[in-house]
Structure 1
Amino acid sequence: MSEPPGAAVSLAEAPPPTDTPSRPLAAQRVLPLRRPGRWIATAVVLVLATQFVHGLVTNPFYQWDRFGYWFLRPTILDGLLVTLEVTAYSAVLGLLGGILLALARLSRSPVLRAVSWIYVWAFRSIPLIVVLLFLYNFSALYRTLSVGVPFGPAFFSFDESKLATDIVIAVVGISLHESAYAAEVVRGGILSVDQGQHEAAAALGLPKGYQFKRIVFPQALRSIIPNYVNQLIGLIKGTSLVFYVSLLDLFGAAQSMGSTYPGDIVPLLMVATVWYLILTSVVSVVQFYVERYYARGATRSLPPTPLQKLRLAITDLRARVRREAAV
């Protein structure tokens, strides 16, 4: 006897669904898309890196025993201190000069704009070695320097040869050269600040100097710092040119010892290379934390530090292991 229309069907008589999974949902796994190209590229890079390291370690031409002998020698460390001293002075003076030049370039005065543009154009066109050699022979052109009225009496004068020591020549030459590049970095950072910030500060009636120090420049630093740190890394390596003005920096000390001990030229060059790598790595670490500090308020969350990245990777690895064990 057939069931009347609308009659209920018992669960026992209902047909089983055809799309029921054969395994529980917890046991199902989503397989990632296979990427053979990525694995091949990774294997090739690892093989090349292993061969490079193997060549560095096993090649007797590098003389790693002599490298260890020279790495902490007083001569090398004295040259390293000279490099740090010249870099520190030149970085500070170059940045200050770059700020002044950038402000002059953005000024409404046509004279300041023209002078700033000519300065940047000139020192970006002249190689640093030419600037250093010119300053090294500056006393041949001007034996005395004086300050006074143009075409009139001088208020005071001094002997240029007594003032211009080797380290002064190096710092002045590098600072003049660095200011031209820092000026464009600072100017680009200031121009990157939204125009609404300037208008809001002006609407509040804040003085121009206060606007720049408290509103514009702190925001511009987010753009200035990465670019200027690149300049600073180039500055650390650029100090190797002061060897040509009779100042024994890190490279000069290695070069001088290489002339005295010709058989140790390669180990001495490796010593200088490793020290430059250490210095630039320290600057890069400082750059990360300074950028992270000035990123406050501009991003929803600060970028994780290397230690936080390591902890996160360990946590993810433990969670993955637990999931694999549960399956």
Structure 2
Amino acid sequence: MINTTTALVIGASGFLGSHVVKELLRQGYNVRIMVRASSDLTALDGLSYEKAIGDVADVTSLKAAMSGCDWVFYSAVDTRAWLFNSGPLYQTNVLGTINAVNAATACNVKRFILTSSLVTIGKPKHGIADENAIPSDEELFTEYMRTRFLAEKYVLDAAKEHGFPGIACCVSNTYGADDLQPTPHGNLIKQVALGRVPVYLKAKSECVGVVDAAQALILAAEKGLIGERYIVSESYISNKELFKTAERRAGVTRLLCAVPTSLVYLCTTVIGLFARLLARDALLSNNSARLMYQTWPLSNKKAIEQLGWQPRPVKQSIEEAVDSYLEQ
């Protein structure tokens, strides 16, 4: 049977977005992408899709891209959490999402899948956090985190108040092949694989394979409940375990010891101080260090039970990432 569902992927040139395109095509869906004229589409080489040129700041281009589409996967996000001026974060992450929701409403889209973030999941008083955990103001301690929270809230509020077909997928750090930019966390794995990283942090993080995450987003469109959010993460593992997995795959042995947490905070505090004095962006800051250490384990039970999601062990995706980096 021919699949007549047409899916639009916004943010298709990114790491996760490109894998959503690949997975949709593999499953037989019709795919359209919306990208800027300047977007690098290397990650989509050789794939058969329809292309629309647009920008999330332009509602007219959003409507044109969504016209005739059944599903919209919204993965456009500004991840530059280190920006001194947070204006661009609000423009893309919040206003862009609002524009997309308005366009999807006008185009009668059947499902709108927002790629959200784990920063929108709060810390529970007891046990493992799930989708019911709402972060406090103190837990949203950067403008980047606030923009992701506000974007998700807008989509879910629109669903509950107006019947908008919105669903949020809170995706953890993604790993896998074809991370071409690469992502900040992916670049760490790349540097480890190249034998350039002798230390690791005493920290843990939620992680998931990028292919598995893409499959979860598609399952959310197929089976997800409108107005709900789903945690998309496979496991909560240590920085050391991540790096050791990458080293074993690459055949290198460079890791020596952990960096003292106090030293990390000292260095990032000094860097952040100079950045503020010079009014410049700093990739490393006290907030970025705090974000690395202030994480907690999350439950993916809802995605598994309601969507039928079956993620592979993330270590397989780490190995695929290493192979890809070494081939590059």
TM-score of the aligned structures, taking structure 2 as reference length: 0.23
Could you say which structure has the higher strand fraction? Answer: 2
Radius of gyration: which is bigger?
A: 1
Structure with the higher fraction of residues in helix conformation: 1
Give the TM-score taking structure 1 as reference length.
0.23
Of structures 1 and 2, the one with the larger relative CO (CA 8 A, separation 6+) is: 1
